[in-house]
Amino acid sequence: MLTLYHAPTSVCSQKVRVGLALMGLRYESRMLNLQAGDQFEPDYLKLNPDAVVPTLVDGDLVVVESSLILAYLDREHFGAQLMPSEPAGRVRAEHWLLRCLAIHAAINTLSFSTAMRKKLLAEKTPDEIDALAAKFPDPIMGQKRKDLILNGLASAYVGQALVHLRRLFVDMQAELEEGPWLGGNRVGIADVALVAYVDRLDRLGFGGFWEEEFARVGPWLDTWKALPAYASGIADHVPPGTAETMRSGGAAHWPELARRWKALADETQ
């Protein structure tokens, strides 16, 4: 039996749950409360020393990193049906999986510099923010979280995030010209790997990143939203009442992000 350690609204947990649902794989759920610090508990750190979710356990094998988990599940439990069979398509899909590290970092940046920042500033003292940063096994990640909480959109990480997101949408738009899914006419591993990230931006009220310039991204996300795998992997795990708070919290920052997004587009054209 597969065992998944995950969190309700963690984007990386969402993308693995979407994959599990799409593959029709059953698993034992171990839900972590990230706000309570479950990810820093000693028993969990033995499984995942980076103190992040998700973590998959398959017998004696522990698999970490959401893109690696998706590739493992597809290969070992789904007959590699989500991975293109031809070399060029496979390389392109594997490159998307690799790029998810930077894309996830960008989504993390925009989440914590906007909607999540207000709540953290209201609930935590400066000493508690310092203590939170110190808990991260990777000290640079701890300093990033602290910087995003204290500085919001003024953080240098925001500019980095926008660069990676622009590359994401430029490349998605190009691939979606070939069909309704990335790289073709059927859903593939790259689609599964990216849906939770684009969905998070949509939930933050940041659909303006793609609505005008990258018109194929919106319909791609809408197609996902109509699938049962989206519901069981993402929508069903959103706590009641939080969707509205996230959207309003993010939308308040959209005018500044829109200004910087346009400036970046002007620079790269």
Predicted confidence (pLDDT) per residue in 180-222, tens digit:
999 789 999 999 999 999 999 999 999 999 999 999 999 999 9
User: Cα 100 vs. chain centroid, distance in angstroms?
Assistant: 8
CA end-to-end distance (rounded Å), the chain: 50
**Whether residues 127 and 146 fall in one domain:** yes
| Domain containing residue 11 | 2-77
**Whether residues 137 and 189 fall in one domain:** yes
CATH number, domain at 32?
3.40.30.10
Closest CA to 12 of 195, 168, 213, 239: 195
pLDDT at residue 16 tops 90: yes
**Whether residues 71 and 179 fall in one domain:** no
**Whether residues 100 and 228 fall in one domain:** yes
pLDDT at 118: 87
**Whether residues 103 and 70 fall in one domain:** no
pLDDT at 107: 98
Burial group, residue 204, by CB count within 10 angstroms (0-12, 13-18, 19+): buried
| Calpha distance 82→258 (Å, rounded) | 35
CATH number, domain at 94?
1.20.1050
pLDDT at 184: 84
**Whether residues 52 and 97 fall in one domain:** no
Question: At a CB cut-off of 8 Å and minimum separation 6, what does 150 contact?
Answer: 129
What whole-number percentage of the chain has pLDDT above 70?
A: 100
**Whether residues 126 and 63 fall in one domain:** no
What would the pLDDT profile of 117-175 be if each residue is shown by its tens digit? 988 999 999 999 999 999 999 999 999 999 999 999 999 999 999 999 999 999 999 99
Residue at which a domain ends, from 77, 106, 137: 77
**Whether residues 66 and 103 fall in one domain:** no
Mean per-residue pLDDT over the chain, rounded:
96
Residue 198 in any domain: the answer is yes
pLDDT at residue 269 tops 80: no
The number of domains in the chain is 2
**Whether residues 186 and 225 fall in one domain:** yes
Q: Which residue stretches of 24-85 are H helix?
A: 42-47, 66-77
**Whether residues 70 and 179 fall in one domain:** no
Order of strands across the sheet with 2-6? 27-31, 2-6, 55-58, 61-64
Burial group, residue 79, by CB count within 10 angstroms (0-12, 13-18, 19+): exposed
**Whether residues 42 and 92 fall in one domain:** no
pLDDT at residue 23 tops 90: yes
**Whether residues 109 and 53 fall in one domain:** no
Closest CA to 102 of 36, 176, 38, 193: 193
Question: At a CB cut-off of 8 Å and minimum separation 6, what does 125 contact?
Answer: none
Q: Confidence class of residue 34 from pLDDT cuts 50, 70 and 90?
A: very high
pLDDT at residue 45 tops 90: yes
| Calpha distance 187→183 (Å, rounded) | 9
Residue 82 in any domain: the answer is no
pLDDT at residue 90 tops 90: yes
| Calpha distance 258→133 (Å, rounded) | 29
